[in-house]
Amino acid sequence: DTGVSQDPRHKITKRGQNVTFRCDPISEHNRLYWYRQTLGQGPEFLTYFQNEAQLEKSRLLSDRFSAERPKGSFSTLEIQRTEQGDSAMYLCASSPPSGSPADTQYFGPGTRLTVL
């Protein structure tokens, strides 16, 4: 399967702990996105990479959140000092290099975070 993969699929942590999620995009895709989705809501944009450069961050991305894509391939999303409000599904998506700024994004299965 050459789709977007995310690891882990589920994470349960205690409040105050740090967590890190990984996303592996489709291999030829240079654009990578992170979204957060809470129950009953649509996904909300968090941040966007083109190759290794983080080009945009949402206001939702507090100082406790950091994302990296060091070699322009996989990406990590770290949440420090987790809070119960961080409980959500974290989705990663990727899209191919293209002249169009709004191409189809291909989503991974998500990482479901539960903060106790």
Partner 1 sequence: SQQGEEDPQALSIQEGENATMNCSYKTSINNLQWYRQNSGRGLVHLILIRSNEREKHSGRLRVTLDTSKKSSSLLITASRAADTASYFCASGSRLTFGEGTQLTVNP
Distance CA 103, CA 116 (A): 37
81 to 100: interface string for partner 1, x by CB under 8 A: --------x-x-x------x
3-class DSSP assignment, residue 84: helix
Query: Which residue in the set 21, 35, 49, 65 belongs to the binding site for partner 1 (CB under 8 A)?
Result: 35
Tell me whether residue 45 or residue 72 sits nearer to partner 1 (CB atom): 45
Count of residues binding partner 1 (CB under 8 A)? Answer: 26
Q: Which two tokens stand for residue 51?
A: 């190759």
Binding site for partner 1 (CB under 8 A): 4, 33, 35, 40-45, 48, 56, 58, 89, 91, 93, 100-102, 104-110, 112
